[in-house]
Amino acid sequence: MSNSVIVAGIDCGTNSIRLKIARVDEQDMTDIVPKVLRVVRLGESVDATGRFADGALARVHAAAEEFAQILSEYNVQALRFVATSATRDAENRVVFEDDMEHLLGVRPEVISGLEEARLSYMGAISAFGRDQIQYPALIMDLGGGSTELVLGGDGVDTAVDQVQASYSMNVGSVRMTERHHLYDQPDDASVEAAIADIDEYLDVACAHIPIEQTRTFVGVSGTVTTMAALALNLPEYDASRVDGIRLPFAQVEQVDTKFLHMSREQRRVYKAIHPGRVDVVGGGALVLNRVIARVQERVVASGGELNELLISEHGLLDGIVLDLGRRMLRRV
């Protein structure tokens, strides 16, 4: 029997905090406690103030207490706690870090955008067989505060499980919604300003990543999976219906535009949207639309063809757990 370890990962982003416990061996990762998600909006107002709000710190504290109770029920051999965009930006982040260390016994690791990209790519491709993806694959992890674009290898010059190029953009559902007031039926001027903002970041990303090489485009994160559920007209969110589906770009863009221009009250009718995403899902949808348009444009301009998005429930959190487990196994 092969060696295995039981490890846990926590991913605390701008909008949500998530926990996963899994058994990792040399070949695979098996969930013990699948993803537990709590929307805490840790990044509330950080883009404007540069600080965590007291209410946000209280919400993440409550979630961490819950996670500590779950972790105490399992023989977890190691825990890695990763914090991303909002924590990178907050000048009072030590208050958050001290509180999390007190509750969970590990200090949050504020990772760089490059490390976030590497782990997101690892987690995303781990869920697919070699026959499901044409390489190079481009992974888009669209978060609350940042969006990572990661291009993997082609299997010739670079291994398909290795990152060829990546870029982290300070563009996300919460950040764009707050910065450009996209909460409720945004006017044309607000949308146009947000588009210009997103496109400027995409210009820089395209200078860092040869996006035109993309053969499979994979979208991960809450915004992406939520918009996929809405595109499928699901009466409520169902991860099993969303994970692994392929959606035409045109279908995604149509539903993105529809929900961008809705009010919060109109969005609340749709049970596929988590209540904690209702106010920012339109901003996330706009980011999704702009990234899709730019990727398709670059691929087509190079003589290629790309017209669909592969949706994945797997990403950064899976990468955190898988990477931790593999590192531990190498030390066994």
Full set of structural domains in the chain with CATH = 4-113 (3.30.420.40), 129-311 (3.30.420.150)
27-33's contacts with Cβ under 8 Å and 24+ in sequence apart are 27/2, 29/126, 29/318, 29/321, 29/322, 29/325, 32/6, 32/74, 33/8, 33/70, 33/74
Please report how many Cα atoms fall inside a 13 Å half-sphere around the Cα of residue 29, on the Cβ side: 28
Contacts from 112-116 at CB under 8 Å and sequence distance 24+?
Answer: 112/88, 112/168, 113/85, 113/88, 113/146, 113/148, 113/166, 113/167, 113/168, 114/166, 114/168, 116/82, 116/84, 116/141, 116/146, 116/148, 116/168, 116/316
C-alpha 42/C-alpha 21 separation (Å) is 22
Structure pTM?
0.91
In this prediction, residue 282 carries a pLDDT of: 96
pLDDT score for 1: 41
Q: What is the pLDDT of residue 116?
A: 84
pLDDT of res. 332: 59
Name the amino acid, one letter, at 318.
Answer: D
Angle (deg, nearest 10), helices 316-331 and 113-126: 90
- What are the average pLDDT values for consecutive 10-residue runs of the chain, which has 332 residues? 88 93 92 94 90 96 98 97 84 95 95 85 88 94 92 92 93 95 95 98 97 97 95 96 97 97 96 95 97 98 97 94 94 72
